[in-house]
Structure 1
Amino acid sequence: MPKPCKTDFDDFLDLLEDACGKPFVQRRGDLLSLHFNGVAIQSEMRLSAPDELVFSYTRAMMGFLLFQPAPAHLLMVGLGGGSMAKFCYRHLPDTRITVLELDADVIALRDQFLIPPDDARFRIIHADAADFMESARQDVDALLLDGFGPDGLPPELCSAQFYALCRRALNPRGVLVANIIDRDPRLPSCIAYLHAEFGPRVCWCRAEGGGNRIVFAVNGASDGEGDADDGNECRHAFRPQLLQRAQASGLRSQLNLPQLVERLRCRHS
């Protein structure tokens, strides 16, 4: 009797069992994916286009370019499969990129995801972001928070104290971008902490076709300053400047920047 062919799901179950609780990689045709468990895909790479941003939420997070079009220093929390790190390394050649990753097993998979080696303008640091922020210098132009573990967003990365440290690490015109799952029960608290720290300079959008809420918080005076309690008034006040930047960006098509500007909201409901 012929032996039944194994399905992708069968292969996945084998990988999950062999991983023994550690991060693992699965290949499905042209796609390579990173998993922490059997619940969700953490990161995905197209082998034929390894620097492409496959997930819509990563493209939305790149909206920080609307506020900081030419960042000198970019700090990322959470490496995953390195999607945003690789994209920024390729498309922002004048930007210094620092990536913080808590899990050494995730860092060990960097070669499989074709993440470039450390060099003069790119480095991955094995560190706890909450501890690292305690001594971070005030030189960060854009801070991207995408640190997740097997149980989702760690509470240490969603606290008033952590967001205060993040703001301290930003330069006066720096921008923080946070990826928060819409169904996370701590979402209202995260938003409240960000508003308490950054005042009215907080806006957000939902990633297309997903359950991710991408929150932008701008340090100090900015084109995005307004009154968040006035619904979408703040968005309309600075939308022309952001649309101008979106149209001027060489990445406007890849990232759908003009559409992202239209989706920005200030009322978090």
Structure 2
Amino acid sequence: MMYIQVSRAVWPPMFELRMLTAVSALESRRAEIFPPPAVMPWLQRYLSSMLAAENLDPIPRHIARLMSNLTNLVTQLQAGPVLYKKRHTLALLFDVFAVQSEMSLADPDELVLGYTQLMMGFLLFNAAPRSIGMIGLGGGSLAKFCYRHLSDALIEVAEICPQVIAVRGEFMIPPDGPRFKVHCQDGADFVARNKSRFDVLLNDGFDKAGQPPQLSSRRFYDDCYASLAPQGMMVTNVLGGEKNTDAQVDAMRDAFKGEVYVIDAYDSLNQIAFACKGDLLKVDLRTMMERTRFIPCLHSATLRLIAHGIAYARDGVVTECSM
């Protein structure tokens, strides 16, 4: 799940003036239900971002439509996850602040969200895993990418929410078969029942409130460690800046004997933790950079970013290493 940070871009003065004039006109006519004054700065940034994204002028008609869409979205989200179609993508939302998953309509197997690209950084350490476990299906971005590009891997996914599984067809997630299976199961139970099984475990389990407690405890990470084959790797999406994030990462480090390194996502508030059972992460930067040449399914710039991020998290300093 990627938590949205509404753009704080500095808009051209005339755009801002027209925006404020249009909002004031709607408020004076009571054409839309506006939130309390404390929320208005966020709402105006949200509306400005949406107008810019859709290349719309800041006039009352367009703002009223966006406000109506937002109101309908909030109402629908009270009943559960919602599909949200934009011009080029289809998203799965848990609330208005969080994109659980996003799919390109032109290329359904593409990794749209930056943090999912970073999670695939495990390919720098194991380019051909035979068994992949996943916690959290969402819109299936990671599952579809692995299914398409890692044809020798057996993939099993634990998703606790039946409503999420029910819309898998909308996101073109493959049906269950010999290579791929989705379990309606709590991720904590999933790892507890699979010992020494996975070469790679991708942990992206969130609900509306964030990461559930059972997916961030020391016991959970002990079970994740036990679920990995020798030289296995766990990659976990965590929320940077949250009050319990440091404790969560400490629990990982305790379970994985210190072999945990965290890098920041470049397009959201997320952080990605790489943890290994063994010494997979002890690879030097030059070797990681060399390996970026042989992973065609991810952009080399993304792989270099991951390599430098892990090297810095591990060593505290990164010397220049161009390959």
| Global fold match (TM > 0.5) | yes
**Which residue does the alignment assign to 1:16?**
74
Structure 2: which amino acid aligns with 1:166?
A: C
Structure 1: which amino acid aligns with 2:272?
A: I
Task: After TM superposition, give the deviation of residue 255 of structure 1 in Å.
Answer: 7.0
**Which residue does the alignment assign to 2:58?**
none
1:240 aligns with 2:298: no
The structure with the greater share of residues assigned to helix is 2
Structure 2: which amino acid aligns with 1:258?
A: R
Structure 1: which amino acid aligns with 2:238?
A: I
CA contact (8 A) 2:292 2:300 kept: no
Task: After TM superposition, give the deviation of residue 46 of structure 1 in Å.
Answer: 1.1
Distance in 1 between the 2:143 and 2:70 partners? 26
Task: After TM superposition, give the deviation of residue 57 of structure 1 in Å.
Answer: 0.2
Once the two structures are overlaid, the 10-residue window that deviates more, 252-261 or 103-112, is 252-261
Distance change in 2, residues 1:254/1:241 (3 Å)? closer
CA contact (8 A) 1:247 1:258 kept: no
CA contact (8 A) 1:73 1:142 kept: yes
1:249 aligns with 2:307: no
CA contact (8 A) 1:21 1:37 kept: no
**Which residue does the alignment assign to 2:153?**
95
Task: After TM superposition, give the deviation of residue 254 of structure 1 in Å.
Answer: 6.5
Task: After TM superposition, give the deviation of residue 19 of structure 1 in Å.
Answer: 4.5
CA contact (8 A) 1:59 1:255 kept: no
Task: After TM superposition, give the deviation of residue 244 of structure 1 in Å.
Answer: 2.3
Distance in 2 between the 1:64 and 1:150 partners? 27
1:61 aligns with 2:114: no
SS in 2 for 1:112: helix
Structure 1 vs Structure 2 CA RMSD = 1.9
Structure 1: which amino acid aligns with 2:130?
A: A
Task: After TM superposition, give the deviation of residue 117 of structure 1 in Å.
Answer: 0.8
Q: Deviations over 1:151-191 (max 9, x none)?
A: 00111101110000000000011000010010221111111
Corresponding residue to 1:152 among 205, 210, 213:
210
Per the normalisation by structure 1, the TM-score is 0.88
Percent identical residues: 36
SS in 2 for 1:147: coil
- Could you tell me which runs of 5 or more consecutive residues in structure 1 were left unpaired when the two chains were aligned: 226-236
Structure 2: which amino acid aligns with 1:194?
A: M
CA contact (8 A) 1:170 1:219 kept: yes
**Which residue does the alignment assign to 2:25?**
none
Distance in 1 between the 2:238 and 2:107 partners? 26
**Which residue does the alignment assign to 2:131?**
73
Task: After TM superposition, give the deviation of residue 149 of structure 1 in Å.
Answer: 0.3
Corresponding residue to 2:187 among 129, 134, 140:
129
Task: After TM superposition, give the deviation of residue 9 of structure 1 in Å.
Answer: 4.4
Structure 1: which amino acid aligns with 2:303?
A: L
Structure 2: which amino acid aligns with 1:52?
A: E
- Could you tell me which runs of 5 or more consecutive residues in structure 2 were left unpaired when the two chains were aligned: 1-60, 317-323
SS in 2 for 1:71: coil
Distance in 2 between the 1:78 and 1:9 partners? 31
CA contact (8 A) 1:60 1:255 kept: no
1:35 aligns with 2:35: no
CA contact (8 A) 1:97 1:122 kept: yes
SS in 1 for 2:200: strand
Matches within 5 A, 1:189-228: 189-222=247-280, 224-225=281-282
Q: Deviations over 1:190-243 (max 9, x none)?
A: 111111111232212111122111000010233x24xxxxxxxxxxx6222222
**Which residue does the alignment assign to 1:266?**
314
Corresponding residue to 2:65 among 1, 4, 7:
7
1:85 aligns with 2:85: no
CA contact (8 A) 2:80 2:163 kept: yes
1:180 aligns with 2:238: yes
Distance change in 2, residues 1:254/1:51 (3 Å)? farther
Distance change in 2, residues 1:255/1:162 (3 Å)? farther
Q: Deviations over 1:57-78 (max 9, x none)?
A: 0000000111211100110100
Per the normalisation by structure 2, the TM-score is 0.74
Q: Deviations over 1:43-91 (max 9, x none)?
A: 1111111111111000000001112111001101001111111111111
Corresponding residue to 1:116 among 164, 167, 174:
174
CA contact (8 A) 2:133 2:157 kept: yes
Structure of larger gyration radius: 2
**Which residue does the alignment assign to 2:26?**
none
Aligned length: 254
SS in 2 for 1:111: helix
Distance in 1 between the 2:67 and 2:144 partners? 28
